[in-house]
Chains A and B, each alone.
Chain A
């Protein structure tokens, strides 16, 4: 369990050694130095978090905290992980639950080499390099007339092979506090049928049809804003016509439920702290954006966990996966049964989802280019003002 740090990173660390020493104390407290990641981005903005490996989830992150430039460190997520990849095929010949039934960790997690991690550093688990850690430019962060500030992000990814598919869970942490969670799907097509025409797939070569299928991605996000999960709350925001204009209608979600996007009311959700407020007297919060909600699939009755775009549940240690949850004798089996009207007064889990419907194309063979599916967590009154605007103010 050795953490490899590139020379560039080492040079950076010596420059900010005072901060690093401070961090290793924090890291060791939560997870030990070998599992701690601490990254200060070139413009300021610092992320600290821990990672762990498990057979099913692959890489999970925990104790995720963000320190804005010239600001103080604040906890955001107690734990975050990919909690299911559900892959039903149009012909009903296979309906995979890749996280719970196959697992993204252990032998399914691929070893990475340096060329797969350009300008980054590799982090090892059990003698295998499994995480690529990079700091990447992300283009313009802000602009006012001819003045601008470029942005950066910390990126972490691992790669897991399940059958012919190679999945790339990726976590990106921006210097403005935004978090993007995504999964790349690459490798090769898994299932085919013979023939030249089919309404359950797409002809991709002579006598070869790639079967159409869905990738339903589910994340499990245990928010603990400002380090306390017991005082977080969920609000749904819909925009409705009022007084001749458009007003935000906020409604707290007080009991466990599943909800859908609504493109007419531009519905969105925030997770907010009940006590901590910013200078404008607004609760500090994160918005959950399902920006790729353009495809969805409500499956058969035994897959009722596919019904909603996002779920909010009371935190329970044994509710680990969106579907095919184990310990059925002590715990519910999937999201559809996690939501049983319990109060969200205490610690809350948010389960955002996104779906990609993959109709194969000739270009998917022999090697299939990666397709990214993701969601976004965006600061919402987290700061008093834009933390990166200092240089142009």
Chain B
């Protein structure tokens, strides 16, 4: 089955030299990694610099979308910026897969063509193939009766990290032809820990005396938005919907968040956030923006240890060079330890260089079906263009 519909898309991939991989300063000039371009037949194209960091592993930089022959930057830099895991028995300290163990360097699994069907492999500086890119075609884009129908494609970039000897994490970014960005983390490996059944933690999956332990993994995504030309004029808008007393009508409310803040999802208010540019507009004169579509709400604030930073869903901060990780950040100089603390000095974020920290929680509940090899579970979310173009460009 061909994943690549050659009629629908033409792929242009460029591999650029690299020998040193580290976090780029903001703003960035040259790519310290691999320059990738994904171009679709419609003229839509994504360009980005993919670098491999010792801590974060896969890092997306200078992500730009070309739509209607017009190129605009979306993200300056984005990556998973923490993966904090605690087992249900709460024995020992939590692990910090990004800051302590690292997802990059020798943690990156060597990939073969079997891991990357119909895709293309890219080496790290030592020559090991550790990044896969590929296209998935034949996805439905839209349908309107018998008058309109179109399929679409996306471009995918992933790497796999050996977290512990038993746990593997796949960092996967999908870039859709329609402008949607979908970061995801895949959890795989073997059941990582067991405990004596008498303690009552976890579940029996094979042996009734040794129960498999569940765990909570907190994902801290760092999204340094730099919409358009000027990286220093982004704005966060919170969108909510409130019902009338009869609940028959609803009213939208939009509010610019002026200062650094930590927020929670609220399904009743349908809370969402969009990042909009301070001056650039679409051809109709409406402000361009990207909206955050969260996911996995049903496990989102499980926080049995009562850690303050885990009680919030999303954080908006002003860019600071030393604010690198969502938690377990090195508290050097004026820099705080985690995303919640970053917000505490209430810096002005309206028309600033904005960083969004989105926290997700994945709780793994053991089951015999995963004995001893776990079916890969994915945790993802989406960034969706809102008024990026005046109409649907496809």
Interface residues of A, Cβ cutoff 8 Å to B? 88, 90-92, 110-111, 115-116, 118-119, 135-137, 139-146, 148, 150-151, 159, 161, 164, 166, 168, 176-178, 184, 186-188, 198-203, 205-206, 212, 237, 239-248, 261-268, 278-282, 287, 289-301, 355, 357, 359, 361-370, 379-389, 392-393
- Minimal beta-carbon separation of A244 from chain B (angstroms): 5
Residues of chain A contacted by B89 (CB below 8 angstroms): 245
Q: What's the dominant secondary structure at chain A's contact region?
A: loop
Tell me whether B284 and A280 are in contact (CB under 8 A).
no
Q: A200's contact among B207, B252, B367, by CB below 8 Å, is which? A: B252
Inter-chain CA distance A145–B374, complex, in Å, is 12
Tell me whether B282 and A362 are in contact (CB under 8 A).
yes
B286 at the interface (CB under 8 A from A): yes
Tell me whether B365 and A237 are in contact (CB under 8 A).
yes
Given contact pairs A247-B201, A362-B282, A386-B375, A140 touches B298 in the complex (Cβ within 8 A): no
**Nearest residue, chain B, Cβ from A203:** B286
**Nearest residue, chain A, Cβ from B264:** A263
Number of interface residues of B (CB under 8 A): 105
**Nearest residue, chain A, Cβ from B297:** A294
Tell me whether A143 and B189 are in contact (CB under 8 A).
yes
Residues of chain A contacted by B246 (CB below 8 angstroms): 300
Tell me whether A367 and B390 are in contact (CB under 8 A).
no
Residues of chain B contacted by A267 (CB below 8 angstroms): 298
Tell me whether B369 and A380 are in contact (CB under 8 A).
yes
Tell me whether A369 and B142 are in contact (CB under 8 A).
yes
**Nearest residue, chain A, Cβ from B393:** A363
Q: B367's contact among A110, A150, A380, by CB below 8 Å, is which? A: A380
Inter-chain CA distance A243–B142, complex, in Å, is 52
Tell me whether A205 and B252 are in contact (CB under 8 A).
no
B12 at the interface (CB under 8 A from A): no
Given contact pairs A263-B300, A300-B248, A362 touches B286 in the complex (Cβ within 8 A): yes
Given contact pairs A246-B201, A363-B387, A385 touches B206 in the complex (Cβ within 8 A): yes
Q: A293's contact among B90, B253, B267, B367, by CB below 8 Å, is which? A: B267
Inter-chain CA distance A200–B91, complex, in Å, is 50
- Minimal beta-carbon separation of A236 from chain B (angstroms): 13
Task: Knowing that A118-B138, A265-B302, A367-B144 touch, tell me 9 more A-B residue pairs with CB under 8 angstroms.
Answer: A144-B166, A151-B375, A278-B368, A291-B298, A293-B298, A294-B294, A363-B387, A364-B392, A385-B369
Inter-chain CA distance A135–B1, complex, in Å, is 9
B170 at the interface (CB under 8 A from A): yes
B43 at the interface (CB under 8 A from A): no
- Minimal beta-carbon separation of B198 from chain A (angstroms): 11
Tell me whether A384 and B109 are in contact (CB under 8 A).
no
**Nearest residue, chain A, Cβ from B180:** A369
**Nearest residue, chain B, Cβ from A186:** B142
Inter-chain CA distance A244–B373, complex, in Å, is 28
Tell me whether B1 and A119 are in contact (CB under 8 A).
yes
B196 at the interface (CB under 8 A from A): no
Tell me whether B367 and A263 are in contact (CB under 8 A).
no
- Minimal beta-carbon separation of A87 from chain B (angstroms): 13
Tell me whether B301 and A263 are in contact (CB under 8 A).
yes
What 0/1 pattern do residues 157 to 190 of B give for CB contact below 8 A with A? 0001010011010100000001100000010111
Given contact pairs A212-B241, A380-B369, A282 touches B204 in the complex (Cβ within 8 A): yes
Q: In chain B, residues 237-268, which have Cβ atoms closer than 8 Å to a Cβ of chain A?
A: 239, 241, 243, 246-253, 265, 267-268
Q: Can you list 26 residue pairs at the A/B interface with Cβ under 8 Å?
A: A92-B248, A92-B249, A118-B5, A118-B151, A144-B189, A144-B190, A144-B373, A150-B117, A186-B144, A241-B304, A243-B200, A245-B90, A247-B88, A262-B298, A264-B301, A282-B204, A282-B205, A287-B367, A290-B298, A298-B268, A362-B390, A363-B385, A381-B368, A385-B371, A386-B371, A393-B373
Residues of chain B contacted by A361 (CB below 8 angstroms): 291, 385-387
